[in-house]
Chain A
């Protein structure tokens, strides 16, 4: 998910180095429904990033034969012919709004301490489960009658998630960074300045966790886990108002144990999982790579920036806190596999400081940006338009 991450070097405000504090306010809104990419990188619906369809027959598999789910499977007594019990799913995922607040304190010349707290508001609507089951065999009829014709009710009865629309608003993970940076003026004909920075942070699990009882209700953060981001970057300022740079940030997410939906059969699909059980999740490493070019203060305080971002989270693993189900099967979940997203950033930035006296007490900046996800695997992202207002003092 291409959540707003305010500490992303692509959109966070530039720091002049002349003031001890910087506050920033972020706000963005999505345009249209989310863009989603399946495992092959093809554009798809947001609810199909993990599976092309949802398998209601497989949903019942992997349980004890004598429990209600096992008995239901036996009662249905049908085999999966590729369409029987399968649903084609659709849904629109909207980013209604997202925002963030950050505060940075600069000390000892090259150091800063910063706090970043985002919030999000997402909506899933127009959810459709379109039954693919035919009507030609007795198995088809049983599947219709006992399972798919009332899939929403049946899934709920059997302990599955609510299939339907949702609205979710809540905070993301609070992140604290300690950062070192320094400008190195360059006495060269083309290159004027080099800014180096590295940062180490700690993410606190303040974000809204994944809602296991709703389909596709992803967490606003790292699902109640602490995280440890570390990044470094290089910004090069050239003559002719040109600036370019890159930035790498790796985030280690500490695993945690909580109730999660797990697969009990390897054929199961992500949105139709009935078993909810406490499981430890070992998150994959998050990697973010930024690359940008900027026309810096080309007209007064106006800057134009074009950036590319690659974001990847590695394979996560589950360890179930029970012997009732198989870890091996649970870890076949597509949602645990790595996911990537490629985004283009366009940012218009205006530094009002150019109009202020050198000894002005405040230094405001305003920027507007657009984030456009254009490729990825097993990921979903909204085209977002946003703005950042920051003030140094």
Chain B
């Protein structure tokens, strides 16, 4: 492992050097691949690798539980603090707080025994002592050297002092929050007296907010005197300071001013000239929280700073008084102005709350109780801000936020749920009307405007998390990740995610069901999501230790999927073309009896892997049954590239297709198979269907099976004697010629969408893919593919159930369209919103290009890969691009990176500084490189573990 660490460091150093030297893109890409290939095969790296800490024991990171975790906006640096409540002294030592890079192998301690505090060497108050609160201030300030990542911490035995942990040349030092009177015990309450304790801490560059209790020792948060203290890291004028001290009224010339970097406590009015600073009051009597009457109870505050909205959100556990119309708001907004004055704003006006309305964040009911357990903000890929809150142990909700309103206090409030977003454009570098941002300006003013718990757009995961109580939440781009620890007997631990589904305006219209992700199926108390490489670092606490593990793309003895992957490698060797098709069928698939399946196809062979209901529920891939199908009929198909599971009425069957045609795998008695989960798999045999050639894709929707060849799309009614109808043919679609070809398709009820070599087509208005009798009857209509003239090669749906054929059901879904221009080695990804198709049938708004703009009102692409890619997959957070071999460059898995207009992440806090999170291309990161391969055949998720799987002629790799 040490060797691996050293080599990993060498790799990093080399890569950093290359990047610093600005080696041109193309050679750098090659070099990255070469280096990745070299280091990918270092045998001492592990799948699901254990991160090293201080523990001496095997498979343990720390000999103490982890209490708090923080990561950076970019998700590149992780900080953890020790939980002392279950650990005695002398164990934690300098690991009270520790740091690790996202790709590091080991945590580094940040609490040495001796430390400089405000420039003087002292015993470190955090050495072997608990940290009660911790947050991370990301701020570059020229006057202070050191890393721009500065944890702000409070000691549990000194809850009246806030320290800034500054790391200079890898050596930590402490700076206290300064009140100009004394360095220590200086945090005021709302009356200006010394607080009796800090109960929460949240950084929001350049500010830090601290929730404080009143001065009285026996008081609790929520009592009068409670509040929020505003601290700022910045430059102050030293002369100005001295002037105050000397009470000198003479004006000071600008040149005489001496600026001094400080971590300064501000008064709520924003001025630092008063001797006694005060916290901003937040207690049971605060009008922004109460409705009509003071609260009966307020407690358990949590905070979240939204860099996009520039607002502080404080979540509370509140209880209304026992009065008829009394109510409470469990969320309140904090905002600062130019003068650093800090004020509170209500999350929604009083009129927005009514008795009986489930408005999630508050309401009116005598002795009604509302609580917020987790708060995050989601800035979607469509540039709209949402507040993600959990109001129960398992419920997560997404609430639209007001942004861009000229009346500044309204920004950050709950937006009117039916409001249409408005685009904000500006001129940049003589490009007129450059897309700047997207705003919902209308706030919710009455209860009808408020998102409620029953709205599909509001319910993250379509409902409560069925696997257990949520212990931690992360959001990234369009996806909400939660983790479940094994708190209760019936909890199914792991990391789960739900992806937002967008309507034609870019607003969230629904969510995908909770789905296990990242291959994590053990208890998780905290986790970090590595947006750079798609890995998850999970932290599982035991009573006296913690285990930190990170998923990885390498498969070895530690991998859960080792046996599964080995079977695939054995059955589909590279000499036979490797894996040419990899299909996941989740528990919604009919015929699997609540279980899941993976179908792997290749030359003259089909592998069916079945995970039963229990394994699927537990997320375990260790137990499965598998069957390999071979034989004369399968051989006739040649290389098999596609598969689907179809319903023949009472029975279900597996259908596979390849160059040589389509075959139905059925029971030897000819009756099909009564559920693919049964042991009768071994008794299956094959029957060829039709005389197809060059089968590109198969899909089943209810009783119909659709077969796509390079020239036609056929519908087979499995319950009507397998009657076959050609519903699309290249020669019968306008603007297509006999030379055109089909690549992919989606059918969902009446809606059918075709990817062709000459663009994207959908079935005509009022036409029904289930009933049309010919291609002409389908009235296939071209769907505009803005700013592109190439071929559409892949359709990637995002649906509620994860089933491709549900894209036009429930609330609909959205679809990513991969279009490639092989000739010019480019590829783009467009997004279309798919509306649910009801009785009125398909219409002009059913398939609608999502508002990805570059220039105002000009629809454009979502991702420009910058080069030809063959496969695309996403979970709403990670955008994976599969690149086949190009010239001498090996096939690779890449991650598309967002390209901000400003180029600086800390500038995205301004609405006018980003282009709406469009992927402008060029930027991508190589995650994996396959130097012996030539193509990538699939990027999909394991239906059981949610791990990303990537397959090609070189085999299969799993991230777990």
Contacts A63-B823, A65-B822 given; does A79 touch B659 at CB 8 Å: no
Contacts of B267 in A (CB 8 A): none
A392 interface hit (Cβ, 8 Å): no
A70 interface hit (Cβ, 8 Å): yes
Q: Which of B172-180, B511-519, B739-747, B845-853 contacts A (4 or more CB under 8 A)?
A: B739-747
CB distance B639 to A137 under 8 Å? yes
A82 interface hit (Cβ, 8 Å): yes
CB distance B741 to A75 under 8 Å? yes
B779 interface hit (Cβ, 8 Å): no
CB distance A137 to B603 under 8 Å? yes
B335 interface hit (Cβ, 8 Å): no
Alpha-carbon distance between A71 and B577 when the two chains are bound, in angstroms:
25
CB distance B639 to A138 under 8 Å? yes
A129 interface hit (Cβ, 8 Å): no
Q: Which of A139-147, A227-235, A371-379 contacts B (4 or more CB under 8 A)?
A: A139-147
CB distance A81 to B659 under 8 Å? no
In chain B, residues 687-708, which have Cβ atoms closer than 8 Å to a Cβ of chain A?
A: 694
CB distance A138 to B638 under 8 Å? yes
B223-250 interface code vs A (CB 8 A; 1 in, 0 out):
0000000000000000000000000000
- Shortest beta-carbon distance, A342 to chain B, in Å? 31
Contacts of A75 in B (CB 8 A): 710, 739-741, 757
Contacts of B128 in A (CB 8 A): none
Contacts of A77 in B (CB 8 A): 741, 743, 793
A135-168 interface code vs B (CB 8 A; 1 in, 0 out):
1111111100100000000000000000000000
Contacts of B934 in A (CB 8 A): 79-82, 84
CB distance B823 to A61 under 8 Å? yes
Contacts A65-B821, A136-B639 given; does A71 touch B739 at CB 8 Å: yes
Alpha-carbon distance between A137 and B641 when the two chains are bound, in angstroms:
9
B112-130 interface code vs A (CB 8 A; 1 in, 0 out):
0000000000000000000
- Shortest beta-carbon distance, B600 to chain A, in Å? 14
B99 interface hit (Cβ, 8 Å): no
CB distance A81 to B935 under 8 Å? yes
CB distance B935 to A79 under 8 Å? yes
B159 interface hit (Cβ, 8 Å): no
CB distance A79 to B694 under 8 Å? no
**Other-chain contact of B870, A62, A73, A79, A135 (Cβ < 8 Å):** A79
B755-786 interface code vs A (CB 8 A; 1 in, 0 out):
00110000000000000000000000000000
Contacts of A137 in B (CB 8 A): 577, 580, 603, 639, 935, 953
A64 interface hit (Cβ, 8 Å): yes
- Shortest beta-carbon distance, A154 to chain B, in Å? 13
CB distance B935 to A73 under 8 Å? no
Contacts A136-B603, A138-B659 given; does A74 touch B577 at CB 8 Å: no
Alpha-carbon distance between A137 and B658 when the two chains are bound, in angstroms:
10
A312-332 interface code vs B (CB 8 A; 1 in, 0 out):
000000000000000000000
- Shortest beta-carbon distance, B757 to chain A, in Å? 4
Contacts A66-B758, A71-B739, A79-B885 given; does A139 touch B935 at CB 8 Å: yes
Alpha-carbon distance between A62 and B602 when the two chains are bound, in angstroms:
31
- Shortest beta-carbon distance, B932 to chain A, in Å? 11
B943 interface hit (Cβ, 8 Å): no
Contacts A79-B934, A80-B885 given; does A138 touch B790 at CB 8 Å: no
- Shortest beta-carbon distance, B681 to chain A, in Å? 25
In chain A, residues 206-254, which have Cβ atoms closer than 8 Å to a Cβ of chain B?
A: none
CB distance B639 to A141 under 8 Å? yes
Contacts of B758 in A (CB 8 A): 65-66, 71
Please, which residue of chain B has its CB at the minimum distance from the CB of A70? B823
CB distance A64 to B741 under 8 Å? no
A259 interface hit (Cβ, 8 Å): no
Alpha-carbon distance between A103 and B740 when the two chains are bound, in angstroms:
62
Alpha-carbon distance between A388 and B884 when the two chains are bound, in angstroms:
59
- Shortest beta-carbon distance, B686 to chain A, in Å? 18
CB distance B791 to A65 under 8 Å? yes
Alpha-carbon distance between A380 and B35 when the two chains are bound, in angstroms:
40
- Shortest beta-carbon distance, B611 to chain A, in Å? 27
Contacts of B710 in A (CB 8 A): 75
CB distance B694 to A142 under 8 Å? yes
Contacts A81-B935, A137-B603, A137-B639 given; does A142 touch B659 at CB 8 Å: yes
- Shortest beta-carbon distance, A153 to chain B, in Å? 16
B737 interface hit (Cβ, 8 Å): yes
B702-746 interface code vs A (CB 8 A; 1 in, 0 out):
000000001000000000000000000000000001011101000
- Shortest beta-carbon distance, B565 to chain A, in Å? 20
CB distance B953 to A267 under 8 Å? no
Alpha-carbon distance between A138 and B710 when the two chains are bound, in angstroms:
12
Alpha-carbon distance between A85 and B113 when the two chains are bound, in angstroms:
67
Alpha-carbon distance between A65 and B789 when the two chains are bound, in angstroms:
7
A83-100 interface code vs B (CB 8 A; 1 in, 0 out):
010000000000000000
B576 interface hit (Cβ, 8 Å): yes
Alpha-carbon distance between A77 and B659 when the two chains are bound, in angstroms:
13
Contacts A65-B822, A68-B739 given; does A141 touch B638 at CB 8 Å: yes
B576-589 interface code vs A (CB 8 A; 1 in, 0 out):
11001000000000
Please, which residue of chain A has its CB at the minimum distance from the CB of B739? A71
A72 interface hit (Cβ, 8 Å): yes
CB distance B823 to A71 under 8 Å? no
Contacts of A267 in B (CB 8 A): 887
Contacts of A145 in B (CB 8 A): 694
CB distance B822 to A61 under 8 Å? yes
Q: Which of A81, A134, A135 has the largest count of B CB atoms less than 10 A from its CB?
A: A81
In chain A, residues 247-270, which have Cβ atoms closer than 8 Å to a Cβ of chain B?
A: 265, 267
Alpha-carbon distance between A68 and B740 when the two chains are bound, in angstroms:
9
Contacts of A61 in B (CB 8 A): 822-823
CB distance A140 to B885 under 8 Å? no
Alpha-carbon distance between A73 and B822 when the two chains are bound, in angstroms:
8
Contacts of B887 in A (CB 8 A): 80, 267
In chain A, residues 330-355, which have Cβ atoms closer than 8 Å to a Cβ of chain B?
A: none
- Shortest beta-carbon distance, A86 to chain B, in Å? 12
Contacts A65-B789, A74-B757 given; does A140 touch B823 at CB 8 Å: no
Contacts of B740 in A (CB 8 A): 71, 75
B401-423 interface code vs A (CB 8 A; 1 in, 0 out):
00000000000000000000000
- Shortest beta-carbon distance, B912 to chain A, in Å? 37
Please, which residue of chain B has its CB at the minimum distance from the CB of A134? B577
Alpha-carbon distance between A75 and B736 when the two chains are bound, in angstroms:
13
CB distance A64 to B823 under 8 Å? yes
Contacts A65-B790, A73-B823, A81-B885 given; does A140 touch B741 at CB 8 Å: no
A36-49 interface code vs B (CB 8 A; 1 in, 0 out):
00000000000000
Contacts of B791 in A (CB 8 A): 65, 74
- Shortest beta-carbon distance, A268 to chain B, in Å? 12
Please, which residue of chain B has its CB at the minimum distance from the CB of A78? B935
- Shortest beta-carbon distance, B828 to chain A, in Å? 13
Contacts A80-B885, A141-B639 given; does A65 touch B823 at CB 8 Å: yes
CB distance B823 to A138 under 8 Å? no
Contacts of A66 in B (CB 8 A): 758, 789
CB distance A141 to B757 under 8 Å? no
In chain B, residues 326-358, which have Cβ atoms closer than 8 Å to a Cβ of chain A?
A: none
Please, which residue of chain B has its CB at the minimum distance from the CB of A75? B741
Q: Which of B580, B791, B822, B953 has the largest count of A CB atoms less than 10 A from its CB?
A: B822
Can you offer 30 A-B residue contacts whose CB atoms are under 8 A? A61-B823, A63-B823, A64-B823, A65-B790, A71-B741, A71-B757, A72-B739, A73-B823, A74-B757, A74-B822, A75-B739, A77-B743, A77-B793, A79-B885, A79-B934, A80-B885, A81-B935, A81-B953, A84-B934, A135-B638, A136-B575, A137-B577, A137-B935, A137-B953, A138-B580, A138-B638, A138-B641, A141-B638, A142-B659, A267-B887
Q: Which residues of B contact A (CB under 8 A)?
A: 575-577, 580, 603, 638-639, 641, 658-659, 694, 710, 737, 739-741, 743, 757-758, 789-791, 793, 821-824, 870, 884-887, 934-935, 953
Known: A73-B823, A74-B741. 15 other contacts (CB 8 A): A64-B823, A66-B758, A71-B741, A71-B758, A74-B743, A77-B741, A77-B793, A136-B603, A137-B639, A137-B953, A138-B580, A138-B659, A140-B577, A141-B659, A267-B887
